[in-house]
Protein backbone atom coordinates (compact mmCIF):
# COMPACT_ATOMS: atom_id res chain seq x y z
CA UNK A 1 0.00 0.00 0.00
CA UNK A 2 1.34 3.45 -0.84
CA UNK A 3 0.55 6.95 0.42
CA UNK A 4 -2.55 7.13 -1.81
CA UNK A 5 -3.97 3.92 -0.28
CA UNK A 6 -3.48 2.22 -3.64
CA UNK A 7 -2.44 -1.36 -4.10
CA UNK A 8 -1.67 -0.89 -7.82
CA UNK A 9 2.12 -1.01 -7.41
CA UNK A 10 1.90 -4.28 -5.46
CA UNK A 11 -0.29 -5.80 -8.18
CA UNK A 12 2.18 -4.72 -10.88
CA UNK A 13 5.04 -6.27 -8.91
CA UNK A 14 3.10 -9.51 -8.42
CA UNK A 15 2.29 -9.72 -12.15
CA UNK A 16 5.97 -9.07 -12.96
CA UNK A 17 6.93 -11.86 -10.54
CA UNK A 18 4.44 -14.14 -12.30
CA UNK A 19 6.01 -13.29 -15.66
CA UNK A 20 9.45 -14.12 -14.25
CA UNK A 21 8.13 -17.43 -12.89
CA UNK A 22 6.67 -18.27 -16.30
CA UNK A 23 9.89 -17.46 -18.15
CA UNK A 24 11.97 -19.51 -15.70
CA UNK A 25 9.79 -22.55 -16.41
CA UNK A 26 9.09 -21.81 -20.08
CA UNK A 27 10.72 -25.04 -21.30
CA UNK A 28 8.21 -27.03 -19.24
CA UNK A 29 5.24 -25.07 -20.53
CA UNK A 30 6.25 -25.25 -24.19
CA UNK A 31 7.33 -28.90 -24.17
CA UNK A 32 5.43 -31.23 -26.48
CA UNK A 33 6.18 -34.14 -24.13
CA UNK A 34 4.09 -32.78 -21.26
CA UNK A 35 0.30 -33.08 -21.44
CA UNK A 36 -2.08 -30.14 -21.17
CA UNK A 37 -3.38 -31.30 -17.78
CA UNK A 38 0.13 -31.42 -16.33
CA UNK A 39 0.86 -27.95 -17.72
CA UNK A 40 -2.33 -26.61 -16.12
CA UNK A 41 -1.35 -28.24 -12.83
CA UNK A 42 2.12 -26.68 -13.08
CA UNK A 43 0.54 -23.28 -13.74
CA UNK A 44 -1.69 -23.70 -10.68
CA UNK A 45 1.23 -24.68 -8.45
CA UNK A 46 4.10 -22.53 -9.78
CA UNK A 47 2.77 -19.31 -11.27
CA UNK A 48 -0.63 -18.60 -9.73
CA UNK A 49 0.65 -18.65 -6.09
CA UNK A 50 3.45 -16.28 -7.09
CA UNK A 51 0.96 -13.77 -8.47
CA UNK A 52 -1.58 -14.13 -5.67
CA UNK A 53 0.81 -13.99 -2.72
CA UNK A 54 -0.88 -11.93 0.05
CA UNK A 55 -3.92 -11.40 -2.19
CA UNK A 56 -6.26 -11.92 0.78
CA UNK A 57 -5.69 -8.27 1.69
CA UNK A 58 -6.21 -6.82 -1.78
CA UNK A 59 -9.21 -4.69 -2.65
CA UNK A 60 -10.25 -5.93 -6.07
CA UNK A 61 -11.29 -2.99 -8.21
CA UNK A 62 -12.41 -3.35 -11.80
CA UNK A 63 -9.05 -2.29 -13.29
CA UNK A 64 -7.19 -4.65 -10.94
CA UNK A 65 -9.45 -7.53 -11.94
CA UNK A 66 -8.85 -6.73 -15.61
CA UNK A 67 -5.06 -6.66 -15.17
CA UNK A 68 -5.05 -10.02 -13.40
CA UNK A 69 -7.38 -11.61 -15.95
CA UNK A 70 -5.28 -10.26 -18.85
CA UNK A 71 -2.16 -11.72 -17.25
CA UNK A 72 -3.78 -15.12 -16.77
CA UNK A 73 -5.20 -15.29 -20.30
CA UNK A 74 -1.84 -14.24 -21.77
CA UNK A 75 0.01 -16.99 -19.92
CA UNK A 76 -2.68 -19.57 -20.68
CA UNK A 77 -2.51 -18.76 -24.41
CA UNK A 78 1.24 -19.34 -24.32
CA UNK A 79 0.86 -22.59 -22.37
CA UNK A 80 -2.00 -24.04 -24.41
CA UNK A 81 -0.73 -22.98 -27.82
CA UNK A 82 -2.71 -22.27 -30.97
CA UNK A 83 -5.82 -24.03 -32.23
CA UNK A 84 -6.28 -25.38 -35.72
CA UNK A 85 -9.57 -24.29 -37.23
CA UNK A 86 -11.72 -26.34 -39.60
CA UNK A 87 -10.26 -24.68 -42.68
CA UNK A 88 -6.71 -25.60 -41.64
CA UNK A 89 -5.58 -22.19 -40.40
CA UNK A 90 -3.99 -21.71 -37.01
CA UNK A 91 -5.47 -19.18 -34.56
CA UNK A 92 -5.10 -18.23 -30.91
CA UNK A 93 -7.65 -19.40 -28.38
CA UNK A 94 -10.51 -17.04 -27.55
CA UNK A 95 -11.26 -15.84 -24.03
CA UNK A 96 -14.28 -18.17 -23.93
CA UNK A 97 -12.18 -21.19 -24.90
CA UNK A 98 -9.68 -20.39 -22.16
CA UNK A 99 -12.52 -19.98 -19.66
CA UNK A 100 -13.91 -23.35 -20.71
CA UNK A 101 -10.53 -25.01 -20.27
CA UNK A 102 -10.10 -23.48 -16.81
CA UNK A 103 -13.67 -24.58 -15.98
CA UNK A 104 -14.46 -21.28 -14.28
CA UNK A 105 -11.51 -21.56 -11.87
CA UNK A 106 -9.82 -18.33 -12.90
CA UNK A 107 -7.41 -16.24 -10.86
CA UNK A 108 -10.14 -13.95 -9.47
CA UNK A 109 -12.13 -16.91 -8.17
CA UNK A 110 -8.93 -18.25 -6.61
CA UNK A 111 -8.31 -14.94 -4.82
CA UNK A 112 -11.88 -14.82 -3.53
CA UNK A 113 -11.60 -18.41 -2.31
CA UNK A 114 -8.33 -17.63 -0.52
CA UNK A 115 -10.00 -14.66 1.16
CA UNK A 116 -12.75 -16.90 2.50
CA UNK A 117 -10.25 -19.44 3.80
More confident position, 111 or 7: 111
Q: What percent of the chain has pLDDT over 70?
A: 96
The mean pLDDT value of the chain amounts to 90
pLDDT confidence of residue 74: 95
Residue 36 to residues 33, 39, 80, 104: CA-CA distances in angstroms? 10, 5, 7, 17
Q: Is 95 a residue whose pLDDT tops 60? A: yes
The model's pTM is 0.86
pLDDT band at 111 (very low <50, low <70, confident <90, very high): very high
Mean per-residue pLDDT for 25-49? 93
Helix (H, G, I), strand (E, B) or coil at 29: helix
Q: Is 6 a residue whose pLDDT tops 80? A: no
Q: Domain ranges in the chain?
A: 8-116
CA 38 to chain centre: 15
Distance between CA atoms of residues 95 and 101, nearest Å: 10
CA 24 to chain centre: 15
- pLDDT tens digits, one per residue of 39-94: 999 999 999 999 999 888 888 889 999 999 999 999 999 998 888 888 889 999 99
Amino acid sequence: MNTDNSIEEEIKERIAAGNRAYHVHMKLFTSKLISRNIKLHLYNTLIRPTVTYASETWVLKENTINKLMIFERKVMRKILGPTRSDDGHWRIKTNQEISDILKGQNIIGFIKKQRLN
